[in-house]
Amino acid sequence: MRILAIFLLLSMALCCFMDTVQAKKFPQKAKCHSKIFGCPKIYYPVCGNDGRTYDNRCILCMENMNRKVQVLIQKYGECQGSKISWRPQ
């Protein structure tokens, strides 16, 4: 019974501090390295603020460097209505 009371007390304390956790704000800048020689073939899609789905953050960074633009990450995951992911040529 004592363990249950401690558990409930800790649970209530945790609930009080839940609003202090900050969510990531979007759009956000992709963290790019100045010298990218290639990107992993890992599909972890990001949605750019240009409406395109990129396979991962590295691909988005390469696109930014190649086109001299600043596409931001709108959200993690595929863009709504974007069926074809952008892949480098």
Q: What is the pLDDT of residue 36?
A: 65
| CA separation for the pair 85, 64 (Å, rounded) | 16
Q: What is the pLDDT of residue 39?
A: 86
The pairing of strands 53-54 and 85-86 is parallel
Q: Which residue has the tokens 């073939």?
A: 41
Furthest C-alpha separation in the chain: 64
| Domains of the chain, earliest start first | 23-86 (3.30.60.30)
Residue type (1 letter), 62 = M
Q: What is the pLDDT of residue 16?
A: 61
**Distance set, CA 25 to CA 22, 35, 39, 65 (Å):** 9, 26, 25, 23
DSSP 3-state of 43: coil
pLDDT, one tens digit for every residue, the chain (89 residues): 888 777 667 777 666 655 554 456 667 777 777 676 788 889 999 999 999 999 999 999 988 888 888 999 999 999 988 655 555 55
Q: What is the pLDDT of residue 85?
A: 55
Q: What is the pLDDT of residue 21?
A: 45
